[in-house]
Structure 1
């Protein structure tokens, strides 16, 4: 009888111990283990991250990081880490967290516009994906890639059509570049290519001209009219004489693209640069900035008119006064110079 009682007690203790063990296992795996108040948080796991890196990043988001590490180990996660951007929702348990960061890489929207150089573009993209700016710039300027796809160092910026695109965060530099080439080819569809051909210009020339149009006016509704002026000049074999190209030439010559130039002086027009459209006929060898789609389409669908000149309108800021004759333009330009002198703008 005494032995039976002992065995019964041992059995009960075993059941209790087993129950406690099962409870602890269940709690570790299936109880909520998030410590943040927002509805969701994102975890960014780099291509060379180890489990210690993942653990360090996740720890501030968890009530009990140790229990997460234990569950992750039991599920074999440390030996199968995947890079990417992963979602952790408020109230997730350890099992759900491991499943999420193991296999649910979430794409994100990448945006860029108005970049002046490939260096600026590389910096902008590096803020949004895993690849760093040096890796991106190296991919952007790969001579073999440029040669194979009809670009050079001057026209390369035009391959990147500003917009919002969906990417995985862990996209590499060459992966980003190659995707942008596909988007460029998609952008230059049959209709746009036909419009360019009708203007007797190729896509690189359209983009270079669009960059000037965008620099000349921030008003989207005015861009087709400005584009029409430059196309009229090209047809008449007149120099473009675009001040933004002179400003670009000055910055390039100085090696300082942060330089602020509010006024182009007569001496600046003598700058010896292929980008100076006062000294060189035709379209510059490449874009002076990244034009957005509205500027590109403004060139492709330019307004048909007889204007050959324009200057800033001092009474309607942001817009311009257009002229058909040099005499009319000189009157408008004189009015503008008087106004800018009155503002004390010397450079």
Structure 2
């Protein structure tokens, strides 16, 4: 269209003026489209949804990404580029000219975003981590993770959906939708639960979801991998004997809706009516009490076989635990920890 207009214009002029005007037009086009305009090189640019040409020009100008914002704006008109049609994250390479830049943006050639998460205290914490680097609205993802019908298609519920998210680094596009993100996490979940891990879970008598739920409880007890394998063994022994798990972190989780920051579980706390109150409800809860790391999941799958039924934190606050076979022995260990808490005046 532009070329046709130029020829029509030149056709109405004399030969000399045609040469002069053609020369000037070529210079103008070269300045507008051909001159390098990116500065400095290798910058990441995020174009939000609904952005206009003017807003994009101002952003590039204010962030020091381009040398000449006017020629860039003209290039967007000449190449019929509308930013709102191609939001996303893009990499600006050094010495790019406006022609190359606008063609990349117009074509939607995005640079992927790396999503990384290792653990999360709860679903809200995970959602915050996931949406922090992409253009997905927090409310949209939150609603999807509470949509029982859509989650059931993947074999999960709003209570246990956290177990589908395997901590790792993932490459996604800035424009990824909530449904696309959920599918990506599900495919990663399937790859993680390979034949080896599935066979280990089967030998324990737990499903992959159950393993992750138990791993979240173990993770709340310790950060030490060797200790984690021992604690996992205690819980598995209790499950096999149909005993109450009596997990303090689970009680804290159950109480968190009423009171946060509990540092010490009291007897009155164990009377709360909740499926997460393992002092009153047998078996595993309906969902995890946090997002377990891969190391904690593997600690459960590779738990330490033993005949211990009790464990108590050591009084040196090292994060390690004493293990006992009977309640009398456990009570002695627990009293050491209680005395340490009392000395520090941690009464609640």
* TM-score, normalised by the number of residues in structure 2: 0.88
Aligned equivalents of 1:326 and 1:235: distance in 2? 18
Mean CA deviation greater in 181-190 or 297-306: 181-190
Gaps of 5+ in 2: 1-13
Q: Residue 226 of structure 1 corresponds to which residue in structure 2?
A: 231
Q: What SS is found at the alignment partner of 1:85?
A: strand
Aligned equivalents of 1:81 and 1:202: distance in 2? 44
Distance 1:219 1:27, change over 3 A: same
Give the conservation status (yes or no) of the 8 Å contact 1:51–1:81.
no
- Offset of residue 20 of structure 1: 4.5
1:327-338 matches, within 5 Å, as: 327-338=328-339
Aligned equivalents of 1:108 and 1:15: distance in 2? 49
- Offset of residue 166 of structure 1: 1.0
- Offset of residue 79 of structure 1: 8.2
Q: Residue 56 of structure 1 corresponds to which residue in structure 2?
A: 58
Give the conservation status (yes or no) of the 8 Å contact 1:50–1:81.
no
Q: Residue 306 of structure 2 corresponds to which residue in structure 1?
A: 305
Q: Residue 87 of structure 1 corresponds to which residue in structure 2?
A: 91
Q: Which residue, 163, 171, 174 being the options, matches 1:166?
A: 171
Distance 1:341 1:291, change over 3 A: same
Alignment pair present for 1:133 and 2:138: yes
Q: Which residue, 40, 48, 52 being the options, matches 1:46?
A: 48
Aligned equivalents of 1:13 and 1:196: distance in 2? 83
Give the conservation status (yes or no) of the 8 Å contact 2:86–2:105.
yes
After superposition, give the CA deviation of every residue in 1:83-104 in whole Å (9 maximum; x if it has no partner). 2210112432212221332332
Give the conservation status (yes or no) of the 8 Å contact 2:47–2:83.
no
Q: Considering only aligned residues, what root-mean-square deviation do their CA atoms show, in Å? A: 2.2
Alignment pair present for 1:251 and 2:251: no
- Offset of residue 299 of structure 1: 1.0
* TM-score, normalised by the number of residues in structure 1: 0.88
Q: What SS is found at the alignment partner of 1:110?
A: strand
Give the conservation status (yes or no) of the 8 Å contact 1:87–1:101.
no
Q: Residue 316 of structure 2 corresponds to which residue in structure 1?
A: 315
* Residue correspondences, number: 332
Aligned equivalents of 1:26 and 1:285: distance in 2? 65
Mean CA deviation greater in 52-61 or 160-169: 52-61
Q: Residue 325 of structure 2 corresponds to which residue in structure 1?
A: 324
Give the conservation status (yes or no) of the 8 Å contact 1:84–1:169.
yes
Aligned equivalents of 2:282 and 2:85: distance in 1? 57
Aligned equivalents of 1:152 and 1:136: distance in 2? 15
Q: What SS is found at the alignment partner of 1:77?
A: coil
Q: Residue 75 of structure 1 corresponds to which residue in structure 2?
A: 79
Aligned equivalents of 1:25 and 1:245: distance in 2? 68
Q: Which residue, 113, 121, 125 being the options, matches 1:116?
A: 121
Aligned equivalents of 1:203 and 1:313: distance in 2? 31
Gaps of 5+ in 1: 1-9
- Offset of residue 293 of structure 1: 1.1
Give the conservation status (yes or no) of the 8 Å contact 1:46–1:170.
no
Q: What SS is found at the alignment partner of 2:82?
A: helix
Q: What SS is found at the alignment partner of 2:256?
A: helix
Q: Residue 204 of structure 2 corresponds to which residue in structure 1?
A: 199
Q: What SS is found at the alignment partner of 2:316?
A: coil
After superposition, give the CA deviation of every residue in 1:5-43 in whole Å (9 maximum; x if it has no partner). xxxxx988875665444333323222222344xx42211
Distance 1:142 1:316, change over 3 A: closer
Aligned equivalents of 1:55 and 1:305: distance in 2? 66
Q: What SS is found at the alignment partner of 2:114?
A: strand
Give the conservation status (yes or no) of the 8 Å contact 2:31–2:71.
no
Alignment pair present for 1:182 and 2:187: yes
Give the conservation status (yes or no) of the 8 Å contact 1:115–1:121.
yes
Mean CA deviation greater in 302-311 or 127-136: 302-311
After superposition, give the CA deviation of every residue in 1:242-266 in whole Å (9 maximum; x if it has no partner). 10000001013x1x6xx11111111
After superposition, give the CA deviation of every residue in 1:161-188 in whole Å (9 maximum; x if it has no partner). 2221111111011111122122222222
